[in-house]
Amino acid sequence: MLSCKTFYNLIISDNRLWKYLFREKLIVHSPYNSTITLTWYNKCRISQNWRKGIFKSMTIIHHKTNYMPWLQMFPEVLYLSVGSKLECYSTNFVLHNKMLWSLDVPIVKRYDVRTNDISRFIVKDNLIVCGNRDGSTAIFKKFEAKRKPQLLKHLKNCHDDGHIEVTAVEAIDRLLVTGTNSDSNICLWSLKRDKNSPKSVKLSDCVGCRSLAINEQEKKLAIGPNGNCKPLLLDLNMEKICMNSNIAVDTKRVIRDIQWHNQNELVYVTHAGTLHHFDIRTGTITYETTDPLQASLYCVRTDRERAIVVGTSEYSRCVLFDLRSPSHVQMYFTQKKSSPVYSLDFDSTKLLAAVDRGVAMLRFNVNPRTTTVRDYSHTFDTVTNIQR
């Protein structure tokens, strides 16, 4: 005769059962972290916590000055920009706030109102590329996690002789791409040559570039324009634009962040507070929704399946969406601050959100019986007319 414990273990180890029970539910995946291996029971249990707002939060990094940080998470390390510093932390969060190294990115003194803060950076293969608000870009060689990167090149005047900031960067082994929100040209820099003479590519139907993303095959570059709400596409082999927006320029329209969902689809967020899923094969939007509180959206990440998390412009708030539903799944107030979420990253068990004075971590691999439920999944209606 089976005991209760034996029967329980049989049930939770039956992957077919849990796949069937949760076939219509949103499951949050970890496409970039192969070290997370979960049974189907645990995938379903943790994803249920995502949907119900069951998590434990903590501030893992804190600073006393307001910044606009950018972060990128890997299985072993977390990279974070803090002003003109680039910091690296262990993702073993049992070692609370364990910094592995910190380096000062080279800067250029400009006699204007701009700061020397890092606007965005990218960590890819053996390179770290930092775009700076002073108009320069620094390229570092990346080593193993505990060793500081080595400066390879410092491009002091990337756009308009350094008079405008670098707002977006991307890189592959042979090529560096920089963009700015104040100029409709993006610059392609060769990493194989010592000459610092880039090739410029003119962008149409926009006044600049706010975000960049290269696909996994490293053949196409998605461009989030400043002055338009439809992405552009650059063929990196031909070094020519292969998809234009064909929409008139409107300076109120901005794609703040853009990511590849798969090799044929993009996700991006706009200043107007909309989230879009875009198919480059047909040039059409296949999914569109808005922030439940109608705030601007600053950043976006996807699990490359059905889950998308966006960071909003107010109250340190992130929102989870399911590509099958126009309504949001859940909202998370990551800190008790009114700051925007400038950058975020997540895997199936946790969410990291960078706000003006620190980084918060939300852990979803928790026991729902002993964890406070913070459920904001209900739909909000906009009140347009109030009768007195």
Question: Which CATH number goes with the domain that contains 218?
Answer: 2.130.10.10
Question: Cα–chain-centroid distance for residue 5?
Answer: 42
- Percentages helix, strand, coil for the chain (3-state, rounded to 5) are 10, 40, 50
Ranges in the chain, pLDDT < 70: 1-3, 6-15, 20, 93-97, 193-195, 379-388
**Position 40 in a domain:** yes
Q: How far apart are CA 37 and CA 47, in angstroms?
A: 14
Q: How far apart are CA 197 and CA 147, in angstroms?
A: 31
Tell me, yes or no, whether 368 lies in a domain. no
Task: Flag whether 375 is in a domain.
Answer: no
Q: Enumerate residues 6+ apart whose C-beta is below 8 A from 127.
A: 139, 140, 141, 142, 171, 173, 191
pLDDT tens across 212-259, in order? 999 999 999 999 999 888 999 999 988 899 988 878 788 788 999 999
Q: Which of 262, 249, 179 is nearest to 215 (CA)?
A: 262
With contact defined as beta carbons under 8 Å apart, do 133 and 154 qualify? Answer: no
Domain assignment of residue 241, given as a range:
24-363
CA atoms of 134 and 112, how far apart (whole Å): 9
Instruction: List Cβ neighbours of 323 (8 Å cut-off, separation of 6 or more).
Output: 277, 287, 306, 307, 308
Buried b (16+ CB within 10 A) or exposed e, 44-60: bbbbbbbbbbbbbbebb
* Contact by Cβ (8 Å): 52, 375: yes
Please provide residue 370's backbone torsions phi and psi, each rounded to the nearest 5 degrees: -115, 15
pLDDT for the residue 7: 56
- Structural tokens at position 51: 């949907």
Is the residue at 380 inside a domain?
Answer: no
The helix/strand/coil state of 17 is helix
CA distances from 119 to 43, 84, 131, 134 (A): 35, 9, 6, 9
Q: With contact defined as beta carbons under 8 Å apart, do 232 and 276 qualify?
A: no
What is the pLDDT at residue 247? 81
SS3 assignment for 143-154: CCCCCCCEEEEE
pLDDT at 172: 84
Cβ neighbour number for residue 288 with a 10 Å cutoff: 11
Give the whole-angstrom CA distance, residue 217 versus residue 207: 28
Contact 337, 356 (CB under 8 A): yes
> 371 lies in a domain?
no
Listed residue (151, 153, 159, 152) closest to 134, CA to CA: 159
Closest CA to 380 of 323, 306, 317, 307: 317
In the chain, how many domains are there?
1
Angle in degrees, CA 22, 26, 30, rounded to 5: 110
Q: Left (φ > 0), alpha (ψ -120 to 50) or beta: where does 73 sit?
A: beta
**Residue 4 falls inside a structural domain:** no
Side chain identity at residue 193, one-letter code: R
Question: Residue 284: is it exposed, middle or buried by C-beta count within 10 angstroms (0-12/13-18/19+)?
Answer: exposed
Contacts of 243 (CB under 8 A, 6+ apart): 231, 232, 233, 280, 283
Check residue 95 and give its pLDDT: 56
Residue 206 pLDDT: 87
What pLDDT sits at residue 167? 96
pLDDT at 371: 95
